[in-house]
Every structure is written in C-alpha cells, then in structure tokens.
Structure 1
C-alpha cells in the first residue's frame, strides 16, 4: 500500500504536530501570529507543525491564513472532513503530537518551544 502525503510527512520527522483550527478561533489565530518566529527552531530539531483548518468555506481559511502569515504547512480540511471524527476534534485549537510511527504522544504545550521538551 502506498503512503499518502500526510503519512510521508509524518514518517520523515521525529515528531509532527497536527494543529486543528478555524478562522473564528481567537486563541488559534493568536498562536499563529505569536509562534511563527519559533517554527525554524522546531524544524531544526526535526519536528514538523501542520495546521489543519476546519472552516466551512475555503475563502475564510485563505483570508485568515494570509492575515496570520502562516509559515508552515497549512491545510484546508473543511467542516465535514472525515479527519475531524477520526481525531475526535471537538474544541479549538486541538493539538495532537504524533511520532514517526504515527503513534499519538500525550503532550500538552502552549508554545512551539515547549515541543523541544519531547526528547527529555
């Protein structure tokens, strides 16, 4: 079975964060703006960050993404994407950390820099 793009991305990194958000989520948008300068440090430690938007229409995602100047992989899933029930997304933001074996790692964080503690 061939790997899809998401699996390839996850398997090529030590850790990957799936960050579920929508354009009306104020804490989500604040996180984007506050943390964009920390992303290069994360990448240097082989940790990837993927934002997954769940807005009802793509236009909202595009506008919010442009305003927030998101510098990492930023995907539109949409409101009815099957990924939402797969990961039981009920609140925003939802942050899920997975290792390169696609296992969920229980880890809470407020800043991207907190993710550097994963190896300690």
Structure 2
C-alpha cells in the first residue's frame, strides 16, 4: 500500500502544527515520543515505525535546517523529541552528531586508504570548487 503524498499546503500545515506542539516540549524532561508526536501532527497513528514516520522526520529535518533546535534521543523505551532549553543542550546535541559524522567520514577515509585529515582536506577543496 502506497503512502499518500502531501500537497505543499498540507506539508506547511503539518509543519506549523509540529512547531506549535514542540513549543510545549522544551527540555529533555518534556520530550515527546515519535508515536505521540506523529499522532498530534497528523491526527492518526502511523502504520510502520520507520516507513510510516518518514514525513514527520522529513519535516523535523527541514526545521532543523532552518536552525530550529529540535533535539532527539533514540531509545526503545525513553526516546523522543524536544526543543533545546539551553545552549549546553544545543552543544551536547551538536557534539553527538559531529562525533557520529566524523566516525562515518573516518570509515570512508579508511576505505579510500587515506588519513582522515587528508580526506577532510579533499572535501574542503570539493566544497570550494562547488561554490565557485
């Protein structure tokens, strides 16, 4: 069964609902689980934990890309989403993701049989070339 594609107006409405909901969940002690968040945003339960929540995760990623500090914790029993309540929460969230990203880049460098600094330098050159 295919997933219904949202119109741009529906997507914008869902984004606005998500923002209103997240304002009520500031700080990790007020996090909201994926299931509850999905139900609050879309007014229905999701069909599959991964595939059924793609639209919500896409909206969260888009809002993060605009600078909205939506933090998350992955856990089968205590995971969820919340807005950062402090600069230290933002730093901790960013540090966790930086560490994850560097781990992935380190693996790529090993596969390519070069050092991580050399690989990062190559990436820098590629980014500069794209900006020209």
Give me the TM-score of the superposition, normalised by structure 1: 0.24
Which of 1 and 2 has higher RCO (CA within 8 Å, sep 6+)? 1
More helix by share: 2
Structure whose residues are more often strand by fraction: 1
Computing the radius of gyration over CA atoms, which structure comes out larger, 1 or 2?
2
TM-score (norm 2): 0.23
